[in-house]
Amino acid sequence: YYDIQYSLIATDMQMNSSGGRGFLMNTSGEIIGVITKKTTPSDVSVYTAIGISELKNLIERLSNGEKEVYIGVKAEEITDTVSRRTDMPKGMLVKEVQNDGPAMLAGILPMDIITEIDGNPITGYASYRAWLRNAGAGETVKVKALRSGKEGYEEAVFEVTVGER
């Protein structure tokens, strides 16, 4: 999904015939994850689950009738290590832009590096999600990004209208 990223739990425990759908529980019977899919070939049984703590906020917002806000990017954090090894600036590297999404309509492209949104530094995915949680649908924000060119990275500023779904 665009603008959403979850940490996954991997398990190689035996599953019933449900095809790996259901809940992951601890030994006390508490739900700790929602099983999403089998991630390996059929001869090896490894399944992934999204941790329940990652889903609680989303479930609460949706159950209260709130919509999810988004700008329509799939992105990856440029860590200190990656930045040093590749000479890429820190920020959030846009890997994919949703067709006709707010980011695409504003002119953001794959490989742009988002560094700031409305004066808030974006140093990675966590700071992006923190900003997004407080964003309002229909709000127009200034997104600063670095775009690679012939003479290195150049700053570009985009006006993005936050969408909702």
Range list for CATH 2.30.42.10 in the chain: 69-164
Tally of CB atoms within 10 A around 1: 10
Average pLDDT, the chain: 85
Answer for the pair 110, 95: CB distance below 8 angstroms, yes or no. Answer: yes
- Mean pLDDT lowest among 11-15, 21-25, 135-139: 11-15
Most confident of 3-7, 73-77, 156-160: 156-160
pLDDT band for position 143 (cuts 50, 70, 90): very high
Q: Give CA–CA dist 157/142, Å, rounded.
A: 6
Q: Give CA–CA dist 56/78, Å, rounded.
A: 27
What pLDDT score does 124 carry? 84
Q: What confidence tens digit (pLDDT) does each residue in 75-134 have?
A: 999 988 998 999 899 999 999 999 999 999 999 999 999 999 999 999 888 888 889 888
Q: Is the pTM of this model over 0.75?
A: no
Tell me which of 51 and 37 has the higher pLDDT: 51
Q: Give CA–CA dist 156/74, Å, rounded.
A: 19
Average confidence (pLDDT) over 25-32: 87
Tally of CB atoms within 10 A around 107: 16
What would the CATH number be for the domain defined by 69-164? 2.30.42.10
First vs last Cα of the chain: how many Å apart?
A: 12
What pLDDT score does 121 carry? 95
Res 18 pLDDT > 60 = no
Q: What confidence tens digit (pLDDT) does each residue in 62-87 have?
A: 788 878 889 999 999 998 899 899 98
pLDDT band for position 55 (cuts 50, 70, 90): confident
Q: Give CA–CA dist 27/19, Å, rounded.
A: 22
Pick the CATH number of 8-63 from 1.20.272.10, 3.30.43.10, 2.40.10.10, 1.10.3720.10: 2.40.10.10
